[in-house]
Structure 1
Amino acid sequence: MKFKRSLLPRLINSLLPGKVVVLYGPRQVGKTTLVKELIAVSPFRSRFINADELMYREVLSSQSVQRLGEVLGDAELLVIDEAQRVTDIGLNLKILVDRFPQARIIATGSASFDLANKISEPLTGRTLTFTLFPVSYAEVSETIGMIEARFQLDRWLVWGGYPAIAATDDLDLRKQLLNNLVGSYLYRDILELDGVRKSDKIVNLLRLLAYQIGSEVSLAELATNLALHRQTVEKYLDLLEKTFVIFKVEGFSRNLRKEVTKNSRYYFYDNGVRNSLIQNFNSPNLRQDIGQLWENFLVVERRKANQAAGKSVNSYFWRTYDQKEIDCVEEHSGRLYGYEFKWTCGEIRKTVCKEFNLSYPDSSLTAIKKENFEDFIM
């Protein structure tokens, strides 16, 4: 099954002379496939370079106008895949842009922290940045239709949206592909680019986070459980965010004493990755953690939807010390929008509604259920 990626039109519209389009995203998410699709429909003469190949890495890191010009040749569009592999990639791209201002360039990378550091300073003001996530529910619906997508909702909750895994109906193959992804590709950037050696600690850290979806995470508690220094845990969490495994959501507060903001919550970019870490691929109706699956799914799908719409949103959770909480609070256009996630039928507690509305009178509060979730994530 081939999915229609919503990012493709935005990438095409961003191909401007003298600009570098930077495409981030986790390994195996389909970046190479996407840029090759772009090349196929682009009106520009194109050249695709894989920076994993040593001969191209050497030329692209040469800082030689002549050698860089030879790489470009007569191409109007140059695509550099795995650009973080290239030494001083930002400086070399600057030379290309300065000397060949008619060129359009795309650089892809699976490690945002490494590629961003290398590109941002030399090319200040001349980059356009995008992130490719695992396949979204909206993209699934666009590909197979809304009725079929809704019928298959359990599948996406359990197996996630990595393209190779989402494309197969073979359950054993899905499990094998997902376990291989989590066992190798997921950590490669951290292990290679930041010199991390204790990969077992990273896996154990992720497992602890997998069981704490929807709850605030204590760094001190993680450090104790892992027998690591708190600073090391903070470093690992930061690297896992920058390699698109997890992301952090802070607590919302307008400095009211009763609101909890000390700890953060962590979510996985993909439900399948989370389930592989805890080795639970049971269907939702057989699980005790369906509330966590549903919350992780909705939070990350909302994140994808906001990016697809080009919508700038600040996202939080909200909780008070007397245990009133809202799963998701969004701040945009000068207003607050609260969302509570309900897998089973149920309404938001009246005490929660009252407290939130009293604290923030110009806000709205909506329960997101199986009956209305498409409106929230599409």
Structure 2
Amino acid sequence: MIRRDLEHRLTNALSHVPVVAVVGPRQVGKTTLALEIAHQQPTKKASYLDLELDSDLSKLDDAEGYLKRFNNQLLIIDEVQRKPDLFRLLRGLVDVRKREGETAGQFLLLGSASRELLQQSSETLAGRIRYLELSPFSSWEIYTDDPLAFNPEKLWFRGGFPNSFLAPTDDESWEWRNDFISTYIERDLPLMGPQVSATRMKRFWTMLAHYHGQQVVYSDLGKSLEVSHTTIKSYLDILTDFYMVRQIQPWAGNTKKRLIKSPKIYIRDTGLLHSLLNISTFEGLLGNPAVGASWEGFVMESIITRLSTKWQYSYYRTVTQTEIDLVLEGPGGQIWAIEIKKSGAPSVKKGFHAGCEDIKATHKFVVYSGTERFPLSDNVEAIGLVAFLKLIEE
């Protein structure tokens, strides 16, 4: 079993707060992680409820009576977004148990909807719940699992969904990803709320793949799909809410320059990106015009999933094309400017240096596909992905 970065944070959260919610896309390993953690609980018995099973869902017809049976236990509730009215009841149970001396580790909720969507139902749990996000396998997790054997190309090409990454062959990985996309569109998304035709959503998702790493022009996509720009925005929010797409917002600091205000769009898992772009072999990826944008998204997601909540991320771009791929703002006023290059001999353009001056960057890096670390001009440092991820930890 590949150890998940989230394991320590999840164990810590269960020892400090009564309700912990682990959110993330389907098939990413939330249930596996939760059951593994449950087996490690030294003093509490753990029980499991899967709300995708009619038999388990029916147990909550009298939810209060059923849940009261689990005093001094950890109850794991999977696919909790299927029962949004449960959050109000959980608040009452948590408060009653607190008065009886039971505080932490009462409920572990697993959900395939975003924290923002769940919060609409769980506002009453404010101060009683902690949210954690589980992503597909990250570069850091695969590296730490076996540092000597780590090869980022397999993770980049196949993506980090466990069944795709661990498939015995590239062909099996390809088949799994295509099945996942079809199932997600035809069954999972409608089951979780959004009512959009499968054909239209598949077409929209594929069109987004061609915008990977760019600012989306809602009106252009709307014309192609024959819907309004507001409908396009709602489709984009659906895929964002269910962890398929990441919208990176523009830098919001003070500058006299005219900035691009729309978010940059990335398909979060590069394996799914390659399936949507019909790139079925690694050699085909290397020869595809999208190779640079794909690598940029892979590095971007590797970095963002590694960040603690003390860091904020954005991108910087002016109307005159001065651009920084990723801006990290962290403790002590740190501002890291990051350029991402697929090339083994990286260099930076004047626009990057100008952007660093605009945002007053304290650190400047080019994250590239090699492994050596060396200085470039104007205090910019070239660095490999793993070495950069180690810096974040430090």
Same fold (TM over 0.5): yes
The answer to whether residue 106 in structure 2 is matched with residue 94 in structure 1 is: no
Distance of 2:12 and 2:356 partners within structure 1: 41
Q: Who is 1:223 aligned against?
A: 222
Q: Who is 2:60 aligned against?
A: 60
Determine if contact 2:339/2:352 at 8 Å carries over to the other structure.
Answer: no
Aligned positions, number = 366
Q: Who is 2:269 aligned against?
A: 270
Cα 1:197–1:205 shift into 2, 3 Å: closer
> In the alignment, residue 77 of structure 2 is paired with which amino acid?
I
Distance of 2:329 and 2:68 partners within structure 1: 46
Determine if contact 2:13/2:130 at 8 Å carries over to the other structure.
Answer: yes
Compute the displacement of 1:114 (Å): 4.3
Compute the displacement of 1:198 (Å): 1.8
Q: Could you tell me which of 129, 132, 143 is aligned with 2:131?
A: 129
Distance of 1:266 and 1:360 partners within structure 2: 22
Distance of 1:67 and 1:367 partners within structure 2: 55
Distance of 2:203 and 2:106 partners within structure 1: 43
> In the alignment, residue 83 of structure 2 is paired with which amino acid?
V
Give the match's secondary structure for 2:321.
coil
Distance of 1:105 and 1:228 partners within structure 2: 42
Q: Who is 1:295 aligned against?
A: 296
Determine if contact 1:253/1:261 at 8 Å carries over to the other structure.
Answer: no
Determine if contact 1:259/1:318 at 8 Å carries over to the other structure.
Answer: no
Distance of 1:27 and 1:125 partners within structure 2: 27
Q: Who is 2:378 aligned against?
A: none
Give the match's secondary structure for 1:100.
helix
Q: Who is 1:316 aligned against?
A: 314
Q: Could you tell me which of 83, 88, 94 is aligned with 2:80?
A: 83
Structure 2 spans left out of the alignment, 5+ residues: 372-383
Cα 1:358–1:185 shift into 2, 3 Å: closer
Distance of 2:66 and 2:211 partners within structure 1: 51
Structure 1 spans left out of the alignment, 5+ residues: none
Q: Could you tell me which of 118, 125, 134 is aligned with 1:115?
A: 118
Give the match's secondary structure for 1:205.
helix
> What is the correspondence of 1:153-302 to structure 2 with a 5 Å cutoff?
153-185=152-184, 188-283=187-282, 284-302=285-303
More displaced 10-residue stretch of structure 1: 124-133 or 209-218? 209-218
Compute the displacement of 1:257 (Å): 4.8
TM-score of the superposition, structure 2-length normalised? 0.87
More displaced 10-residue stretch of structure 1: 190-199 or 204-213? 190-199
Superposed CA offset, 1:132-162 (max 9, x none): 000111111122x223113xx2211111010
Distance of 1:60 and 1:368 partners within structure 2: 50
Compute the displacement of 1:311 (Å): 3.9
Distance of 2:92 and 2:182 partners within structure 1: 38
Give the match's secondary structure for 1:238.
helix
Cα 1:31–1:261 shift into 2, 3 Å: same
Determine if contact 2:21/2:110 at 8 Å carries over to the other structure.
Answer: yes
> In the alignment, residue 7 of structure 2 is paired with which amino acid?
L
Cα 1:229–1:156 shift into 2, 3 Å: same
Q: Who is 1:51 aligned against?
A: 51
Superposed CA offset, 1:184-214 (max 9, x none): 1366443223341322222222212211222
Compute the displacement of 1:18 (Å): 6.0
Determine if contact 1:159/1:281 at 8 Å carries over to the other structure.
Answer: no
Superposed CA offset, 1:152-191 (max 9, x none): x221111101011111222221111111111113664432
Superposed CA offset, 1:85-144 (max 9, x none): 22511012123313333262101010125433222x22111001001000111111122x
Superposed CA offset, 1:4-51 (max 9, x none): 111111111111376100010100001111101111111121111112
Determine if contact 1:134/1:269 at 8 Å carries over to the other structure.
Answer: no
Determine if contact 1:214/1:327 at 8 Å carries over to the other structure.
Answer: no
Q: Who is 2:5 aligned against?
A: 6
More displaced 10-residue stretch of structure 1: 270-279 or 97-106? 97-106
Distance of 1:282 and 1:221 partners within structure 2: 30
Determine if contact 1:20/1:104 at 8 Å carries over to the other structure.
Answer: yes
Distance of 1:80 and 1:326 partners within structure 2: 42
Distance of 1:4 and 1:340 partners within structure 2: 29
Compute the displacement of 1:63 (Å): 4.8
Give the match's secondary structure for 2:215.
coil
Compute the displacement of 1:256 (Å): 3.6
Q: Who is 2:108 aligned against?
A: 106
Determine if contact 2:185/2:201 at 8 Å carries over to the other structure.
Answer: no
> What is the correspondence of 1:288-367 to structure 2 with a 5 Å cutoff?
288-306=289-307, 310-333=308-331, 334-344=333-343, 345-349=345-349, 351-367=350-366
